[in-house]
Amino acid sequence: MSQNSFTPGVVAGRLAPDQYQEQFSDLHPPLQDHEALVAADRCYFCHDAPCITACPTDIDIPLFIRQIATGTPDAAAKTILSQNIMGGMCARVCPTEDLCEQACVREAAEGKPVLIGQLQRYATDHLQTKGVHPFERATETGKTIAVVGAGPAGLSCAHRLAMMGHTVTVYDAKSKAGGLNEYGIASYKTPGGYAQDEVDWLLQIGGITVETGKALGDGLSLEALQGDHDAVFLAIGLGGVNALGLEGDDKTGVLDAVDFISELRQASDVAQLPVGRDVVVIGGGMTAVDAAVQAKLLGALNVTLAYRRGRDRMNASVYEQDLAASKGVRIMTHAVPTAVHGNGAVREIEFEYVDDAMAGTGQTIRLQADQVLTAIGQTLNGSGLPDLDGRKIAVDGTGRTSLDGVWAGGDCAAGGDDLTVTAVAEGRNAAMDIHATLMGGA
C-alpha cells in the first residue's frame, strides 16, 4: 500500500492506539475445557454421519468429538490430522457453516449444529501447543519429489510424502512458506502468527526442505525439476490478478485487494497501515469480504462492497456476508463499475446497475472513494505448464496432469473449490497416488 502514501484521505492511525488490538483480536476465541465438553456432549455420534460426507478431507468427525467428550483431546487431534494435516488452520478458516455443520443432524433438527469447527480447533490446539508431532517417517525410500508451492496443497502433499519415507523439496516464490494461509487470509481469523507456527509444526515430520524465493518460470523450470526428481507436484496457486480494465483504473488509490490483505498480514504494526476514509471494494468472494472487513477494522469511515450480481450469487458464504454487514460494510449488488474518476488520485468510482441477466439498466451511481480495492478474480501464471482445462491445469481424480510424473492440486488445478480444506485434500490425495506410482502400486 505504499503507493497510497500520498493519496489524499488515505492515512494511517485512524483509530486510537488501544483500539487496534481489540479490532484485530481472534474472531472466535478458543473454547475452554468445560465449553468443549459441553459442545461435544451435543453430538449424536451418528453411525452414518452426514458431517463426514460433507467434509472434503473425510475427517471422522463423530470419532474425534467422542474423543474430546471422553477427555482425550490429543487422540482427537490425531484423528483429525491423519486426514487433514492442516486441521488447525481449517478449523479457523473453513466455511463449516456450509460444509460439516450445515450437514449436522442437530442443524436439521434444531437449527443449531454441533460446533464442529471450534471443537476441531480445540483438539488441534491442545496438541500443537505442546510442540508434539504425532506422526513419524517411514523407512527412507530413496525417492525424491519436488513440490512447487508452499501453500495448503503443497504442504499437505509434502507432509504425506515425507511421512511415507520420501525426500521432498518444496519451492515457493515468497519469502515465507504458507501460501494463502500466510499471505491471503484476514488477520482476525489467524492472529498471533498461527500460520507460521503451523508450518513449523508440520515440518517436524522431517524429510522436507523448503526453498523460498524460487518461482516456476523464474529460474525454476518444470523440465529441470522433472529431470532432477522422481515426481513433481504443482501447487502454484493463482498468482495473477485480473485488472478492472476501466478508464482511470491506473489512478493512485486503486490497488489489488490481494496486495492489501498481504501487506496487512505481514505488518508488524497495523496502526501504521494507511486506509481510506471512503473505501470501495469490488468483488463478491472471500477476498473481497476479507478486504472490506479489514478496511473497516483499520478505521475507514465508509466501506462499500460492490458486486455485479445478487447476494445469492456471491462466492462468499452467507455467514461471511453477514459478518461484513455486522462490521458496518455496505453491500451493493447488481452494480458494475464503469469508470474511475479523479485528478491523479481516485475521488469517485462510477457504477451502472444491471439486471439479473447482467444487462445494463441505464441507471448509474457515483460513490465517493479515496481507496478502491479490486477483488475480481485471479489467474494462473507460468510457462511450460501441463495442458489446461479452461484457465487451470487439467487433472484427473488423483491429480495427474497431461505430463508423465507431474501432478497438480490446489487453486491452480481445475475441478475443485477454491478452499483451504479442498486444497489440503487434493495435496494429500495426490501424495498417495505419487507414492503408489513410485513404489509400483505398493
For 258-315, give the secondary structure using H, E and C. HHHHHHHHHCCCHHHCCECCEEEEECCCHHHHHHHHHHHHCCCCEEEEECCCCHHHCC
Q: What is the mean pLDDT of residues 387-396?
A: 96
Q: Where are the beta strands (DSSP E) in 190-252?
A: 208-212, 215-216, 219-220, 231-234, 240-241
pLDDT for res 4:
45
57 Cβ partners below 8 Å, 6+ apart?
83, 84, 87, 90, 421, 424, 425, 428
Q: What is the CATH number of domain 144-239+380-438?
A: 3.50.50.60
pLDDT tens digit string along 263-317?
999 999 999 999 999 999 999 999 999 999 999 999 999 999 999 999 999 999 9
Please give the backbone phi and psi of residue 340, each rounded to the nearest 5 degrees, phi first.
-110, 125
pLDDT tens digit string along 122-171?
999 999 999 999 999 999 999 999 999 999 999 999 999 999 999 999 99
Flag whether the pTM goes above 0.75: yes
The reply to whether 33-128 and 144-239+380-438 are identical in fold is no
Q: Would you say residue 442 has pLDDT above 80?
A: no
176 Cβ partners below 8 Å, 6+ apart?
182, 183, 196, 199, 212
Q: pLDDT tier at 8 (50, 70, 90 boundaries)?
A: confident
Buried b (16+ CB within 10 A) or exposed e, 277-310: bbbbbbbbbbbbbbbbbbbbbbbbebbbbbbbee
CB atoms within 10 A of CB 328: 14
Q: What is the mean pLDDT of residues 240-268?
A: 93
Taking the domains of the chain in order of start, what are their residue ranges? 33-128, 144-239+380-438, 241-377
Three-state secondary-structure class, residue 130: coil
- Alpha carbon distance 308, 295 (integer Å): 21
pLDDT tens digit string along 74-125?
999 999 999 999 999 999 999 999 999 999 999 999 999 999 999 999 999 9
Residues comprising the chain, all counted: 442
Q: Would you say residue 27 has pLDDT above 90?
A: no
Q: What is the CATH number of domain 241-377?
A: 3.50.50.60
pLDDT for res 416:
80
Architecture label for domain 33-128: Orthogonal Bundle (1.10)
How far CA 284 is from CA of 278, 318, 329, 367, 411, in Å, comes to 19, 11, 13, 18, 17
Q: Would you say residue 1 has pLDDT above 60?
A: no
Q: Name the nearest CA neighbour of 11 among 278, 291, 341.
A: 278
8 A C-beta contact, residue 407 and residue 433: yes
Q: What is the mean pLDDT of residues 385-411?
A: 97
Q: What is the mean pLDDT of residues 329-342?
A: 98
pLDDT for res 382:
82
- Alpha carbon distance 97, 319 (integer Å): 7
- Alpha carbon distance 61, 147 (integer Å): 29
Q: Would you say residue 3 has pLDDT above 50?
A: no
Q: What is the mean pLDDT of residues 11-31?
A: 92
**58 HSE (CA, 13 A, CB side):** 6
pLDDT for res 6:
56
Q: What is the mean pLDDT of the chain?
A: 95
